[in-house]
Amino acid sequence: MIEKKPKYTKQSVNRKILESRILRSAEIVFASKGFSGASMERIAEISKISKQNLIYYFPNKDLLYRKVLEEILDIWIEKLSFLENHGDTPEEVIRSYVREKMQISRLYPNGSKVFAHEIISGAPVLKDYLISHLKPQFDRDVALVNSWINKGLIEKTDPEHLFFTIWAATQTYADFSTQIEVLLGKSDLTEPDFERAEKAVTDFVVRALGAHNKK
Amino acid sequence: MIEKKPKYTKQSVNRKILESRILRSAEIVFASKGFSGASMERIAEISKISKQNLIYYFPNKDLLYRKVLEEILDIWIEKLSFLENHGDTPEEVIRSYVREKMQISRLYPNGSKVFAHEIISGAPVLKDYLISHLKPQFDRDVALVNSWINKGLIEKTDPEHLFFTIWAATQTYADFSTQIEVLLGKSDLTEPDFERAEKAVTDFVVRALGAHNKK
DNA sequence: TAGTTTTTATACCAAATGGTAAAAAATAAA
DNA sequence: TTTATTTTTTACCATTTGGTATAAAAACTA
C-alpha cells in the first residue's frame, strides 16, 4: 500500500465524529449551566457515552471547556473580519456584517452563550485571547470606520461604541433568546423571526449611520 | 406571638445592615461564578461572617439567589417604566430611557450580570416573572412606540426589536465590561467612559429613529 | 438582673463530582 | 490466527459543598 499511515481509517473517522458529538453536547451543557454548573456526567449522558469514556477523549473538564470556546472563536474569526466583508459602500459592508453576526447567533446560539458566560464571569480563560487577537482586529476595524467618517460617507459616530452596539444587538438574539421568546410570545425563535430581527437591526444601524443617504 | 416589637431597635437595624452586606457579597459571587459556581463559603467569606452565620440569615442558597435577583428586578422596575419616563417628545423620552438604563449598568453591574447569567441559562428561576410582569409592560411600551410611528413622530421602526436593541446596547456595558475594557485598553470603565458610551448609544438610537428631525 | 436574640464554633453528613487505575472488549495490523 | 492497539467498562476515591444539629458565648432588650 502506498500510504504508510492512512489518515482516514475507520477508527480515526469515528473518532472525529464522536469528538465533535461530544463537543456539541458540551456546548449545550456549558451554555445552559456555565462552567461550574456543567458536569462531566451530564455531558457524557447527552453524548450517549459513559463518563469514563468521555474522560478518555477529553481527559479533564478544563480542556473540554477550552476546546468548546476554541471552536466558537474559530467560527467568529473566520466570518467576522469587518475589513474583509465584501461590499464597496459602507452601507453594503455594514449590512453584510450585521447579517453575518445575526446568522452566527442563529446557527451557533450555544457557542454564543458559552462565550457570554465566560465574558460575564470576567473572561478568566479568554482574557489573553481578547488582548492578543480581538483587540488588534478591533483597532483596524475602528480605523476603517473612522476613514468613512473622514470621507463623509457616514454620520459622525463613535466607532468603538458602534461596534459594541452592533455586537450587543446581534448577540442578544442568541444569548437572551429566552427573554425574547417570552416577550414575542413564542416558544422558540424560528427562521422568520430571525429574518425580521435581521432586517430591524440592519435598518436600525444603517439609519443611525446615515449610510443610506450618502454616497 | 405577633411582632409588636419596635421597628428600629439597634438589633433590627444591624440586622438590615448585615443582610444587605450579605446580599451585595452574594451578588458579586453570583455575578462572577454563576449560581452553581458560587459557594456559600465564599459568600460568607466576602461578607466577613462565618458560613454558619450566613445560613442563619439566609437558610439556603436558592433563597439567597432569589433575593439577589429580586433586588435587581425591583430597581429595574422602579426606574424603567418606559411610559412613565418624563418627556413630552419621543426624543426626550428615548433619551431619558437610555440614560436610565446606562446608569443602571453603571451603578449595578453585578446585579445585571446575575440577571444575564440567569437569562442565558434559560431563566429557570425568572421565567414566570418575565411572563407575568415584564411582558405586559413590554406590550404597553411597544404600543406607545407604535402610536409615535402612526403619528409620524419617528421613523417606521420595528418596536419590539427596538427595545431588544436598546436593552442589549445598554446592558452590554455591565455584562460585557471585561471585553469592552480590553478593547478600549483600560483596566476598568470609569465615569467618563460611561458618559461617552451614553452619548454614543443615545445619539445612535435617536438618529436611527429619526426622532430629532421630526417635531 | 433576667430573658431574648444574635453570633460563633464544633462536629458532622450525604450527595455530587472530577478524576484515577486497571481490566475487559473490540478492532486493526502482522 | 496471533499480536498490538484502541476503545469501553467497572470499580473506586478524595474533595467539595450545601446543609443539619447543638452548645455556648456575646449582645441586646426589658
Q: Which residue has the cell 451585595?
A: B24
Cβ partners under 8 Å of residue A104, min gap 6: A75, A76, A79, A80, A112, A170, A174
Are A164 and B170 contacting, i.e. CB atoms less than 8 angstroms apart?
A: no
Return the closest-CA partner of residue A71 out of A106, A137, A22: A22
Chain A residues with beta carbon closer than 8 angstroms to that of B162: 200, 204
Mean pLDDT across the stretch A64-92? 88
Q: Label residue A86 by pLDDT band (50, 70, 90).
A: confident
C-alpha grid cell, residue B125: 428561576
Contacts of B160 in chain A (CB under 8 A): 183-184
- Residues near chain C (nucleic strand), Cβ < 7 A? A 6, 9-11, 38-41, 51-52, 55, 59-62; B 11-12, 14-15, 18, 49-50, 52-53, 56-57
Residue found under cell 499511515: A5
Give which of A35, A114, A182 to mutate to test B binding, by max B Cβ within 10 Å: A182
Residues B84-114 have pLDDT tens digits of 777 789 999 999 999 999 999 999 999 999 9
Which pLDDT score, from 0 to 100, does residue B85 have? 72
Check residues A154 and B87 and name the one with the higher pLDDT: A154
Confidence category of residue A212, pLDDT binned at 50, 70, 90: low
Residues of B in contact with A171 (CB under 8 A): 168
Please give the Cα distance from A108 to A38 (Å, whole number). Answer: 19
Q: pTM here?
A: 0.93
Q: What is the mean pLDDT of residues B192-208?
A: 97
Chain A's closest residue to B139, CA to CA, is: A183
Q: What is the CA radius of gyration of chain B?
A: 20
For A88-129, how does the pLDDT look when each residue is reduced to its tens digit (9 = 90+)? 899 999 999 999 999 999 999 999 999 999 999 999 999 999
- As a whole number, the mean pLDDT across chain A is 91
pLDDT in tens, A7-56: 566 666 677 889 999 999 999 999 999 999 999 999 999 999 999 999 99
Orientation angle between helical segments A159-175 and A109-120, nearest 10 degrees? 120
Distance measured from the CA of protein residue A126 to the C1' of nucleotide D14, in angstroms: 30
pLDDT at B215 > cutoff 70 = no
**Is B120 close to A116, i.e. CB distance below 8 A?**
yes
Q: CB–CB of B179 and A32 under 8 A?
A: no
Measure A178 CA to D4 C1' (Å).
52
Asked whether the CA dihedral A50, A55, A57, A62 is positive or negative, the reply is: positive
* Closest to A116 (Cα-Cα) out of A201, A198, A27: A27
Residue A199 has a CB neighbour count (10 Å cut-off) of 15
**For A126, which DSSP code?**
T
pLDDT for res B214: 53
Quick: pLDDT tens for A179-211: 999 999 999 999 999 999 999 999 999 999 986
**Residue A8 C-alpha, separation from nearest chain B C-alpha, in angstroms:** 38
Q: Which residue is nearest to nucleotide D27 (CA to C1')?
A: B11
Is a pLDDT exceeding 60 seen at residue A169?
yes
Q: Which of A176, A34, A170, A37 is nearest to A115 (CA)?
A: A34
Confidence of residue B190 (pLDDT cuts 50, 70, 90): very high
